Amino acid sequence: GTLTPPVLRSEMQIVEWKVAPGDFIERTTCGHERSGSVCFSDNSFSVVYQDANYLLSFDPVTLRAL
């Protein structure tokens, strides 16, 4: 699989991947698991809010079937 960083309007300060390309990920139903973390900021609350909503549906991991 591949990892795709988000394209945000705000400034990304930290991106920490919890997975790496080629990692084997078992099917899970836990909502608290994540592929990575990002910290972002902007002088405009609206920009941060829009980026946060974008990240709710953003999928950074492209899976490849075995």
User: Domain map of the chain by residue range?
Assistant: 36-65
Phi, psi of 24 (to 5 degrees): -90, 120
- What would the pLDDT profile of 7-66 be if each residue is shown by its tens digit? 899 998 767 777 777 777 676 655 456 677 888 899 999 999 999 999 888 877 776 666
Q: pLDDT tier at 2 (50, 70, 90 boundaries)?
A: confident
Distance separating alpha carbons of residues 23 and 45, to the nearest angstrom: 36
Q: What pLDDT does residue 33 have?
A: 61
